[in-house]
Amino acid sequence: MTWLITGGAGYIGGHVVRAMTEAGERTVVYDDLSTGIAARVPDGVPLVTGSTLDADRVAAVLREHDVAGVIHLAAKKQVGESVEQPLRYYRENVEGLRVLLEAVTEARVPSFVFSSSASVYGMPDVDLVTEDTPCAPMSPYGETKLAGEWLTRATGRATGLRTACLRYFNVAGAASPELADTGVFNLVPMVFEKLTEGAAPRVFGADYPTPDGTCVRDYIHISDVAEAHVAAARRLAAAPEGTDLTLNIGRGEGVSVREMVDLIADVTGIATPAEVTDRRPGDPARVVAAADRIGTELGWTAKRDVREMVESAWAGWQRQHPEARTRPRG
């Protein structure tokens, strides 16, 4: 069977395509290349340029490549930008998904994996976030991901489409330097950027009710995320009609911002004291996944630790930024 991977030229998408290909699955990538990079797509994997809003083009790629499963990763994903441009985010993330699902059901494609996010939970006041924790997203981005889950599940109930909604926690790292994230929107690359500039990394708030006063998050290596997609795709392909899964992808272990900044300093050899600034509005003190359900459902568990995430991300950052410096310690 052939799997269509929308957004397959992106940071997460490029890793998913590689993992699927290495696992022996046939894939085709569909990406508008607005943020994706064509070079991320492995040799031998077809790349079709197009938007999920283009119903005719989506239908054509499903038909021409005899697609039997879809992994839908294409989406706008910047929280701050979504606050400024909510209409754009709802159009791209929700309407684009609706168009895609309509084409999928008309083509009788039986399996659909939806890329969701821990942002659907908002600010959960729990030690571990389970898949049953109430969802209360705090940004238009998070809202579009939750609406996407609703739409995916409803389509599955109505048509028998097998579905899996995968909620990523904090993704970091790279399988190889050329696949590294090129954006600077998450903690690890944000710290890299400051260190490369010779500036102090920023810590937003150090007065949270956590052991060291900084926010605690669940970081997951991108290669583990990619392997979870392979497991989900294979589970759906072998599952009965109407299968509906909603699963966290995390390690189930919390790392504070201060701990992560200190680890980055150790890996890079650039020990610049962090600057503590005011809290950012809407940042919860702790968001850590309960990661047992995915193990039960897919037989998947995270294999890589936080140091591997930082080391691999740093190698990718240096490839993109030759000016990045490593200063001797002491």
List residues with catalytic annotation.
Answer: 141
Residue whose structure tokens are 């708030």: 205
The H or E element that residue 172 is part of is strand 170-172
List C-alpha distances in Å: 23 to 12, 27, 205, 228: 17, 11, 43, 12
Q: Tell me the C-alpha distance between 137 and 143, whole Å.
A: 6
CA–CA distance, 200 with 25 (Å, rounded to integer): 44
> What torsion do the CA atoms of 266, 272, 275, 279 make, to the nearest 10 degrees?
-30
State the amino acid at position 269 in one-letter form: G
Token pair 């890793």: residue? 15
Q: Which of the 8 DSSP states describes residue 120?
A: G
Quick one: tokens of 102? Answer: 């309509």
Please work out, in degrees rounded to the nearest 5, the angle formed at the alpha carbon of residue 61 by the alpha carbons of 56 and 63.
Answer: 95
Q: What is the distance between the alpha carbons of residues 321 and 193, in angstroms, rounded to a whole number?
A: 9
What's the one-letter identity of residue 137? P
Find out whether 108 and 161 touch, Cβ atoms under 8 Å.
Answer: no
